[in-house]
Amino acid sequence: MIHYRQEKAFTLLTAEDFKDYASGRRKGLGGFVMRSMMLAASKLYGVGVRYRNRQYDRGAKPSEEVGVPVISIGNLTLGGTGKTPTAAWLARWFRRHDIRVTLISRGYGAEQGELNDEARELDDLLPDVPHLQNPDRVSAAKVAVEELAAQVLLLDDAFQHRRIARSLDIVLLDATEPFGYGYLFPRGMLREPLAGLARADVLALTRADAVSAEERQKIHNQARQYNSQAIWIEMTHRPAHLRNADGETFTLDQLQGKRVAAFCGIGNPAGFRHTISSCGANLVELKPFPDHYIYKAPDIEALADWVAKQRVDFVLCTHKDLVKVGVNQLGETPLAAIVIEAEITVGQAELEEQLNKLVAQVPPDAF
């Protein structure tokens, strides 16, 4: 599976520079030459992706059943599309229905013997939901069913991981960057061709409030060219509250009109910028790091020096960053994460109808 950090291995560029080239914003001869090289590499990558998908489509590679309903939450593009808030929404829904649910992920970016940032974030949000991380997700699924008595499995970032058969495939499209600039990696941000949307049972437009109604309709129409049958839902990622490293929570009102600096190590910094603006804060500067960045002591010291120069009231980060930084302030400035919760604004009834069908598949003696 291609991950967002691998763009750096290919181009030796920062994430923002990569996007400037892939989007076409970087003009001139240098931009043309770079995109030509990226296009040649993406064609080779596309051959491998299409071959692998054909093997599954034709049954040459079987998908393994694990004995319980499985929901995959994934996307077609590199970077963040809101999978963590979506997984949290689904996990809470099943827990409200007294269903034992387990999250399973690959554990990308985890240091040896530790959970990665997304797992630590979900542990904070969902203390009663087990989360197994294993590059061999089939093995993790068997552990969840046999040892944890899981009744439903949620596979995080698993649309391209086709070894496990799934009952429901949810594909997220980030409204701010829905189709990866129309090209496979590394020319664009697509992990596989847009035709892969045909496998989805649910198409979910995330951060739907970040674009106009006209733009949402345009994205909907384009997605429907590849899949006219999937349930269509739209989601907003609503800032819920502030949280510090000790787990204390604070209202968002404290940000109104305040000068803030921010940093993040996520796949879509633009989405975080939109979130900060929606809280009424005056963002002085946003400092991006590579996705899944692991902060060390020198990084935290450098951040403290940077924050001191900004002369701000607060410094903000994502919850995924906070669990790795682990401090309540940078220098003299309070540090807090904006905790995001997903809210479905379109299509919730249709989605819940499908989830109830999965609940009905759980054997009565398993409750």
Would you say 77 is a known binding-site residue? yes
C-alpha R_g of the chain: 21
Give the DSSP letter of residue 151.
S
Task: Name the pLDDT band for 110 (thresholds 50, 70, 90).
Answer: low
Q: Which of 3.30.310, 3.40.50, 3.30.70, 2.40.128 would CATH assign to domain 238-341? A: 3.40.50
Is the model more confident about 203 or about 112? 203
DSSP 227-254: -SSSEEEEEEEEEEEEE-TTS-EE-GGG
pTM score, whole prediction: 0.86
Q: pLDDT band at 2, cuts 50/70/90?
A: very low
Average per-residue pLDDT for the chain:
90
- Give the architecture-level CATH label for domain 70-237+343-366: 3-Layer(aba) Sandwich (3.40)
How many Å apart are CA 163 and CA 174, to the nearest integer? Answer: 25
Q: What is the pLDDT of residue 232?
A: 98
Distance, in Å, from the CA atom of 150 to the CA atom of 156, rounded to the nearest integer, reads 16
What was the pLDDT predicted at 4? 38
* Whole-number percent of the chain with pLDDT over 90: 76
Please list, in sequence order, all residues whose beta carbon lies within 8 angstroms of the beta carbon of residue 124, skipping any fewer than 6 positions away.
243, 247, 319, 323
Q: Which helix (H) or strand (E) is 274 found in, with range?
A: helix 269-278
Q: Where are the domains of the chain?
A: 6-57, 70-237+343-366, 238-341
1-26 average pLDDT score: 63
Q: Is 83 annotated as a binding residue?
A: yes
Any binding-site annotation on 78? yes
Which backbone phi and psi does 70 adopt, to 5 degrees?
-125, 130
pLDDT at 226 over 50: yes
CA 262 to chain centre: 19
176 is in an annotated binding site: no
Same CATH topology for 70-237+343-366 and 238-341: the answer is yes
| 82 labelled binding-site residue | yes
φ, ψ (nearest 5 deg) of residue 220: -55, -45
